[in-house]
Structure 1
Amino acid sequence: MPKVIMYSSGFCPYCKMAENLLRSRGVSEIQKIRIDLDPNQRIAMMEKTGRRTVPQIYIGEMHVGGYDDLNRLDHKGELLTLLTP
């Protein structure tokens, strides 16, 4: 399974929903980068993604986007394809 990285914050309901969706699809490890604890990580996230909101999710090298993007991929049946090695 490709590496999953999620930029998140401690009080973000969409981050929790994204984590729950990924876990329900078999993802056991999610590398979380807490932008609320490290302002430099927020800057890095914004430079990489062009977005200011969390979560921002990467599957392998692909920037999936936020929770709505992840959920849309799941409903289209494309999320499992991304998660399959």
Structure 2
Amino acid sequence: MNGLGALFERLKTQYKAWRNFFFVVLAGLVGLNFVINTHEPHFGLDKYPGFFAGFGLIIGLVMVLVMKKIVQPLIARKEDHYGDI
């Protein structure tokens, strides 16, 4: 295997290193919120450092739970819904 497939295989074998790298980058970006003031707060909670990171995490988890528990049962079809093809 060569080319793009080889690249993906190499990245797949090193997934723990990539995962840790991205966690460090994310932690660094949240840490920069303590040092750099990017804007004046408009609401009560956005004056705290890391608020938007936490807000995004919580809202993302809520969206996943809503889709899994409420929306998926509404749109799910049986495996043989369309018949034999």
TM-score by length of 2: 0.28
Q: Which has the higher contact order (CA 8 A, sep 6+)?
A: 1
- Give the greater-gyration-radius structure (CA): 2
TM-score by length of 1: 0.28
Higher relative strand content: 1
